[in-house]
Amino acid sequence: MRILGIETSCDETCAAVVEDGRRVLSNVVATQTEIHRKYGGVVPEIASRAHLEALVPVVAEALQQARLDIQAIDAVAVVHRPGLIGSLILGVTAAKTLAWLHDRPLVGLNHVECHIYAACLERGELPFPCVALIVSGGHTSLYLCESPLAQALLGATTDDAAGEAFDKVANLLGLPYPGGPSIDRAAMHGSPAAVRFSRPWLAPESFDFSFSGLKTAVLYHVRGHGADAKKRPTQLSEREVADVAASFQECVVDVLVGKTFRAAEVHGMDRLIVGGGVAANTRLRSRFQDQARAAGIELLLPEMRYCTDNAAMVAGLAYHYVQAGRVSGLDLEAKA
Ligand code: KG4
Ligand code: ZN
């Protein structure tokens, strides 16, 4: 079964074709990073317009790379929540149109569930049951997953998502947009022990996360207590920037690794999935790998191209929805 997936929840226009839930035949991503760079963040209205321009060529490219005609597609899948409403509407409308025109089943999916599934692409056995951590620009969530179709939320962020904290701290440090990869690179030249930011563990048994206090701690560290994030660009030496970036990153990674492994222990799981854009972070990947090896836990980290937003994870997960008869009607709606 070959499924065409479409993903437009934020600032990437994505289309992919995946066979039987695992074999990625094509995976096309048109990124809008350059368009939003001068604003220092994603501008929703501009994102919608860019999706409108990119969607038709991106879908055509995904079919062409898979060497398939649209007639060879068995179902059309799309992320319909959560995300930027204007961006979601474009992907949903494109998917509905294709499904209706070619009389194929339509599958509407949740973006975060797709990020969990990204670790299953191009692999043999499905890794369920397991614990999954999704860390992206919009989410920091820990799940207990029974199957690709069933997951229970163990904890989530109470304020900023991990990726959002990376992006905001990068901005504070004067590092270029997008912030996550900039912090990752800067931190390679700094010491993670240079500044001891206190770890936001919250209550001892809690699986929730909170990174907004850490962001303020970084602000006060670099500009003095009571500073305003909107005022005065930070004047720091390259060395200081690298040290603060590495210390901030270490703090976030400590909490993510600590809570995720504790969740696996509490729930008796020996398999872990880590996904979402922040799962592309070099330090996070190596810390998870080291700890998994030490604890005898099987770690599933998606390849880098499946960590950040893509449609292969959408077309892959949709296969299991179609198999289970969980298809959507043409009344499928985008939900922010
Ligand atoms: O999953 P994703 O592509 O989009 C959302 O669903 O939000 O994640 C984007 C987030 C951004 O906040 C970005 O800064 C972060 O992932 N990110 C990283 C890295 N690459 C992307 N954060 C830390 N280190 C990275 N290497
Ligand atoms: Zn995402």
Q: What are 56-74's pLDDT values in tens digits?
A: 999 999 999 999 999 999 9
pLDDT of 233 reads: 61
Which ligand lies nearest to the CA atom of residue 7 in the structure? 2
Read off the pLDDT band of 234 (50, 70, 90): low
Q: What is the mean pLDDT of residues 169-175?
A: 94
Percentage of residues of the chain with pLDDT beyond 70: 99
Say if residues 22 and 122 touch (Cβ distance below 8 Å).
yes
**Secondary structure (3-state) at 209:** strand
Read off the pLDDT band of 227 (50, 70, 90): confident
Q: What is the mean pLDDT of residues 44-48?
A: 96
Percentage of residues of the chain with pLDDT beyond 90: 93
Distance (Å) from CA 77 to ligand 1 centroid: 23
Residue 242's contacts (CB-CB under 8 Å, 6 or more residues apart) are 186, 187, 188, 189, 190
pLDDT of 98 reads: 98
DSSP result, 302-324? --HHHHSS-SHHHHHHHHHHHHT
**Higher-pLDDT residue of 4, 124:** 4
Structure tokens at 155: 């904890």
Q: What are 260-296's pLDDT values in tens digits?
A: 999 999 999 999 999 999 999 999 999 999 999 999 9
Which ligand lies nearest to the CA atom of residue 307 in the structure? 1
pLDDT of 255 reads: 98
Asked if residue 44 has pLDDT above 70, the reply is yes
Distance (Å) from CA 111 to ligand 2 centroid: 6
Q: What are 83-121's pLDDT values in tens digits?
A: 999 999 999 999 999 999 999 999 999 999 999 999 999
Task: Give the global pTM.
Answer: 0.95
| Mutation test residue for ligand 1: of 183, 283, 308, the one with most atoms within 8 Å of CB | 308
Rounded CA separation 264/209 (Å):
16
Q: Please report the atom of ligand 1 found closest to the CA of residue 162.
A: 12
Distance (Å) from CA 252 to ligand 2 centroid: 18
Distance (Å) from CA 59 to ligand 1 centroid: 23
Ligand 1 proximity of 277 Cβ (cutoff 6 Å):
yes
Asked if residue 226 has pLDDT above 90, the reply is no
Distance (Å) from CA 91 to ligand 2 centroid: 14
Q: Work out the angle at residue 115's Cα, subtended by the Cα atoms of residues 112 and 118, and round it to the nearest 5 degrees.
A: 155
Rounded CA separation 157/166 (Å):
14
pLDDT of 231 reads: 67
Read off the pLDDT band of 232 (50, 70, 90): low
Q: To the nearest whole number, what is the mean pLDDT of the chain?
A: 96
pLDDT of 229 reads: 75
Ligand 1 proximity of 162 Cβ (cutoff 6 Å):
no
pLDDT of 6 reads: 98
